[in-house]
Amino acid sequence: MSFNRLETAELKGKTALVRVDFNVPRDGDGKITDDTRIRSALPTIKYLQDSGAKIVLLSHFGRPKGQPNPEMSLRFIVPTLEAAIGKSVSFVEKPSADSIANMAQDAIILVENTRFSHMETQGDPKMAQFLASLGDLFVMDAFSASHRNHASSAVVGNYLPAYAGLAMERELDHLAAALDHPKTPVMAIVGGAKVSTKIDLLENLVSRLDTLVIGGGMANTFLFAQGHDVGGSLCEKDLKAKALDILAAAEKENCHIILPVDVVTATEFRAHADSRVCGLNEVLPHEMILDAGPQTVSTILDAMDASETLIWNGPLGAFELPPFDTSTIECAKYAAKFCRRGSLTAVAGGGDTVAALALADVLDEFTFISTAGGAFLEWMEGKALPGVEILKSQSNA
Q: Which residues bind ligand AMP (CB under 6 A)?
A: 191-194, 197, 216-217, 234, 289-290, 314-315, 317-320, 350, 352
Exactly one of 37, 115, 198, 242 is catalytic; name it. 37
- Pick between residue 114 and residue 327 the one whose CB is nearest to ligand AMP: 327
Is the Cβ–Cβ distance between 304 and 310 less than 8 Å?
Answer: yes
Q: Is 374 a catalytic residue?
A: yes
The minimum distance between CB 220 and ligand AMP, in angstroms, equals: 6
Q: Which is nearer to ligand AMP, 103 or 359 (CB)?
A: 359
Q: How far apart are CA 262 and CA 230, in angstroms?
A: 12
What kind and span of H or E run contains 212? strand 211-214
User: Minimum Å distance from CB 180 to ligand AMP?
Assistant: 23
Residue 65 is a catalytic residue: no
Looking at 33-150, which runs of residues are DSSP E strands? 54-58, 90-92, 108-111, 137-140
Residues in Cβ contact with 175 at an 8 Å cutoff, skipping those fewer than 6 apart: 347, 368, 370, 379
- Integer-rounded Cα Rg, in Å, for the chain is 23
- List the strands of the sheet with 162-164, edge to edge: 90-92, 108-111, 54-58, 15-19, 137-140, 162-164
What lies within 8 Å, CB to CB, of 251 at 6+ separation is none
Rounded to 5°, the CA angle 178-183-186 comes to 70
Shortest distance, CB of residue 263 to ligand AMP, whole angstroms?
A: 8
Catalytic residue among 194, 208, 240, 337: 194
Nearer to ligand AMP, 217 or 386 (CB): 217
Give the bridge partners for 266, in sequence order: 275, 288
- For ligand AMP, the nearest residue by Cβ is 192
Rank residues 146 and 326 by Cβ distance to ligand AMP and give the closer one. 326
The answer to whether residue 148 is catalytic is no
Q: Which member of 62, 374, 382, 383 is catalytic?
A: 374
For ligand AMP, the closer CB: 43 or 373: 373
Distance of alpha carbon 303 from alpha carbon 312, whole angstroms: 13
Closest separation in Å from C-beta 376 to ligand AMP: 11
Q: How far is CA 394 from CA 4, 163, 330, in A?
A: 7, 8, 43
Nearer to ligand AMP by Cβ, of 175 and 234: the residue is: 234
Minimum distance between the CB of residue 234 and ligand AMP, rounded to whole angstroms?
A: 4
Query: Minimum distance from CB of 289 to ligand AMP (Å)?
Result: 5
Set 13, 52, 279, 351: catalytic member:
351
- Determine whether 351 is an active site residue: yes
- Give catalytic residue positions: 37, 194, 351, 374
